[in-house]
Amino acid sequence: MDLPIYPIKFQPILKEKVWGGTKLMNLLNKSSLASNVGESWEISDVENDISIISNGVLKGQSIAEIVQNYKEELIGEHVYQKFGNRFPLLFKFIDAKETLSVQLHPDDALAKKRHNSFGKTEMWYIIQADTNSELILGFNQKIDKNSFLNTIDNDQIEAILHKEKIKQGDAFYITPGLVHAIGAGTLLAEIQQTSDITYRLYDWNRPDTNGQLRALHKNLAIDAIDFDLNTNKKFLSNKQDSDNLVESPYFSVNLFNTKEQTHRNISKIDSFVVYMCVEGNTTISINTKSETFAMGETVLIPACAKEVHFQEDSAKVLEIFVP
């Protein structure tokens, strides 16, 4: 059975969060009447949150089904050899009306040992930021394990966190072990490993949607923090003028404007390619198969596709694949 080659769209999986808002609906055209939607999971192979195709001849099938049915043809030979029938990346749009919890993620080795899961390396692209919006990224001083534990026990963690002002177009590479949080007023695209493991360190003493304080994970987190990483600022990649935003073992991310680049030759990329529209709108085509593609939409291109065309509209697009 040959894989149908066309731009594949999925039904967004919307997540209500105590810190969420309305930008996903108002700016990215997601469909919900809720006033606290924090995340739109665009393509997910996370257990209990498996994405379902919303267009074309594969409509109604899940990402898990098509990976299992089409294997290398869909995700690429080297990707399939490494990950098998597991789709390796998770794509989201996130709206933080309020600041998220201060958190971090384990690396592959620790996540495998504790949770039989991938670790969680991620990347953020800022789509929109309110005035004075910022991210929490690491610490503002050199700190070790014992002094960090003291700040936690004395409820003083806010004093040691590094805050980074942000603007539209900034990009950030978030490695495992980095203490971080998305600040209030931020709308972003997130690319990450397929993992939902988060260790919360501090949650602003804020009740969740059920009126309860969310669990913290100090004991799990303390062994996962990379205290050296948190002081060297290498996790920043504010590259607004670069076509290539991130190169990592897990994903490569490019940014381009469809007015300048209407043709993408992907024949030498032995991987699926995902496009996320972060500004404007256009039409995306493979051979004779076309789909409208607007800000807030995400499409999956099979690895066996050779080239992709965009209309000469003014849209900004993230291009993501496994290197």
| HSE-CB of 227 using CA atoms within 13 angstroms | 12
Please tell me what DSSP assigns to residue 284. E
Q: Please choose, from the candidates 147, 202, 155, the residue with its C-alpha nearest in 3D space to the C-alpha of residue 179.
A: 202
Could you tell me if 321 and 267 are in contact, meaning their C-beta atoms sit under 8 angstroms apart?
Answer: no
Q: Is 86 a catalytic residue?
A: no
Q: What DSSP element (H or E) covers 127?
A: strand 122-129
Measuring CA to CA, how many Å separate 88 from each of 82, 157, 212, 269, 322? 9, 33, 33, 16, 9
Residue 110 DSSP label: H
| 191 in Cβ contact with 251 (< 8 Å) | yes
The answer to whether the CB of 310 falls within 8 A of the CB of 284 is: yes
Catalytic residue among 114, 200, 214, 264: 200
Determine phi and psi for 67, rounding to 5 degrees.
-65, -45
135 in Cβ contact with 190 (< 8 Å): no
288 contacts: CB under 8 Å, gap ≥ 6: none
* Positions marked catalytic: 200
